[in-house]
Structure 1
Amino acid sequence: MAISHASPGQVIDVSPLGEHLVESKTIALFKSSDIEVIRLVLLAGKSFPPHKVSGEVTIHCIEGAMSVSAGGVDSSLRAGQLIYLEANVLHSVNALENTSALVTIALVK
């Protein structure tokens, strides 16, 4: 089944999920020729394993708390905080609490 992405001009709600976070899943919100935006949902103790992407990345913590390991440096993010990662940097994410985040990836052509 194809993933339904937002259309240009469509409003996307990225408010905290609150009590619905535990039943929510990670979802790609949209993908264009230049960027992809994903709502990442991780429950406490879960992680996204080490990986690289060819474009620059931002991770904006919407709710909860997470640790981001990138290039050998560990950083903690809480709601309202954002981290920028350079392209091709090995990174991973670990949820310290039930967490949702907005991940933006610059797509390299």
Structure 2
Amino acid sequence: MALPHAAPAQPVDVAPLGAALTSTQSSALFKSPGLEVMRLVLPAGKVFPPHKVDGEITLHCLEGELELSVLTDGAEQRQRLRAGQLCYLEGGVTHAVTGISDASALVTIVLGR
């Protein structure tokens, strides 16, 4: 069964989840031929394992705190993202995300040009 996605021009609430954070799962918000947007929910200590995608990515921490681990040229870089901070990654970069505290983030992926 396909996940429901927002229709064009349909508002989507991406406000912090607050008390509902611990009972909410990650979800796809919308997908088009060129762009996908998801809400990533990571409880403290949970790791979204190393992976890469072809297109550019933004990771916008909406609440809590995340650690972004990026592997480039054999070296690992770690960045902490707090609520309100955004990070951009080029396509094809191996990365992982860890919940430092219960957190949610808006993830955008460019799928094609």
TM-score range, shorter chain: over 0.9
Q: How far did residue 108 of structure 1 move?
A: 2.7
Q: Secondary structure at the match of 2:14?
A: coil
**1:61 is matched with which residue?**
61
Q: Which amino acid aligns with 1:106?
A: V
> How many positions carry a matched residue from both structures?
109
Aligned mates of 1:41, 1:67 — CA distance in 2:
13
Q: How far did residue 2 of structure 1 move?
A: 1.4
Q: Which amino acid aligns with 1:11?
A: P
Aligned mates of 2:91, 2:112 — CA distance in 1:
9
% identical aligned pairs: 54
Aligned mates of 2:15, 2:84 — CA distance in 1:
11
Aligned mates of 1:41, 1:108 — CA distance in 2:
25
**1:96 is matched with which residue?**
100
Q: Identify unmatched segments of 5+ residues in structure 2.
A: none
The structure 2 residue matched to 1:80, chosen from 79, 84, 87, is: 84
**1:37 is matched with which residue?**
37
Please, what TM-score do these two structures have when normalized by structure 2? Answer: 0.94
Q: Identify unmatched segments of 5+ residues in structure 1.
A: none
**1:107 is matched with which residue?**
111
Runs of 4+ in 1 over 2 A off after TM superposition: none
Q: Which amino acid aligns with 2:79?
A: S
